[in-house]
Structure 1
Amino acid sequence: MKAYIEMKPKVTLSGGPVRLCDIAVIWAPQELKKSIGNKVILDEIDGRYSIISSTDIMQQYSDTDIAVTGSNCTVVERTESARSSYLLLFFVWTLLFTGSALTIMYFHEDVSMAETQLVIVSMLGNAHPNWFHIPYSIGIGAGMLLFFNRILKKRFNDEPSPLEIEIHNYEKSVEDYVRVADQKNGS
């Protein structure tokens, strides 16, 4: 019997042994799929990342006819248990809120926003710019919501937000780095 295995490029596990069914999609008859899928490939993940290559799998299953497709290695990331800390959440929120407020204020001071708003308001025929500040502030908040493409869990469209794209690029860079570092250490 022949088994086809497509290795996943990256998996995230909470710990414990790594089984073949965790890191690959297996196409085989049901009894063969269960027997090879539940076999432990790696007892414990050393550090935060580990690399499992297709040659490691072929060596462990030398008695079985296996064809490996897809990626030639899988990056296994170990996640630590999530801690819930409201104090940490409050601290991070306060830090981000203060930093972004200061950034907006410094930008407005740098480009002379007060003088600009006075000119705009005087062109509209009113000498008091205070009525202009409220819609302007609401517009900044609405613009940020549109830029990040969501309000809480509701998305405006299927496009990823710039933040999601940056997170994806960062994760791909980490995966590439781990693969290159493993190849250098293995050579």
Structure 2
Amino acid sequence: MADIVYLRMHKKVNIAHKKQLYLEDIAHISSNVSYKKKLELTPIYRITEKDKNILIIDSFLIVDHLISIFPNIEIQLLGYEQTIIHIQNRKKQTNLWIVSFVWLLLFVGTAMTIMNFHYDVSMQQVHQKIYLLLTGVGNEFPLWIQIPYSLGLGVGTLLFFNHWFNKRFNEEPSPLEIEIFNYQQDINQYITYMENDLNDPRNSS
């Protein structure tokens, strides 16, 4: 009777450099066999320069490879059928001048966007009318309304994005993080689809 090995592929794996991939790098293994550690350390693929920065490993190829080495096991696949390997090149040292320029560009662009929005909706006139309703006196620059409003706008933006530099206010993901996650999911699905389409023999000429 064959020994049962449960295999669950990782959805995505980030590799910092070119190296030999072992089974434990791309999948979870659950089994009571005595050679489980040997299974985990089974070489699967060696990353080379030709792989560039994205690699897809299919679970069925893994099953064939493992059965050829361990003929007395039965593999049960769980979860994902493919693992997407993101090969990250060595990070270059951050240029402080470039970071400062990008930060300044974003700051000015954001400020212009906010000012143009407030100009379009006549926010100054709104503040003037609120001041007139509350005090009965007209004032061209109702600063005691405008200053708290500006501070509240900044605080509200921080709370919305749930970040102050690297500090989080709570464990909930921000709307920006959710959008980035959805975008990454779409990219992974597209990569997987294209890989399957290219490897489908029916599509070969």
Q: TM-score, normalised by structure 2?
A: 0.83
Q: Is there any run of 5+ residues in structure 2 with no aligned partner, and where? A: 201-205
For 2:41, give the aligned amino acid.
Answer: N
Give, as a single letter, the amino acid of the residue that structure 1 aligns with 2:31.
Answer: A
CA RMSD of aligned residues (A): 1.8
Give the counterpart letter for 1:17 in structure 2. Answer: Q
Give the drift of 1:62. Answer: 2.0
2:197 partner SS: helix
List alignment gaps of at least 5 residues for structure 1.
Answer: none
Higher mean alpha-carbon deviation, 36-45 vs 25-34, is at 25-34
**Correspondence 1:70-85 to 2 at 5 A:** 70-85=79-94
1:28 aligns with 2:31: yes
What does 1:33-52 align with in structure 2 at a 5 Å threshold?
A: 33-44=36-47, 46-52=51-57
User: How many Å separate the matches in 1 of 2:37 and 2:104?
Assistant: 50
For the residues of structure 2 that align with 1:179 and 1:102, how far apart are their CA atoms?
40
Letter in 2 for 1:94: L
1:130 aligned partner: 143
- Percent identity (aligned): 37
Is 1:162 the counterpart of 2:162? The answer is no
| Equivalence for 2:185 | 172
Query: Using a 3 Å threshold, how does the CA distance of structure 1 residues 57 and 103 change in structure 2: closer, same or farther?
Result: same
- 1:96 maps to which residue? 106
Q: For residues 90 and 29 of structure 1, what CA distance do their matches in structure 2 show? A: 55
Counterpart pick for 1:3 among 2, 5, 10: 5
Alignment match, 1:115: 125
Residue 41 of structure 1 aligns with an amino acid whose one-letter code is I
**TM-score, with structure 1 as normaliser:** 0.90
Hey, what's the Cα distance between the residues in 2 that align with 1:170 and 1:99? 24
- Mean CA deviation greater in 95-104 or 21-30: 21-30
Structure with bigger gyration radius: 2
Per the TM alignment, residue 31 of structure 1 is displaced from its structure 2 partner at its CA by 4.9
Q: Provide the residue aligned with 1:13 in structure 2.
A: 15
C-alpha displacement of 1:161: 0.8
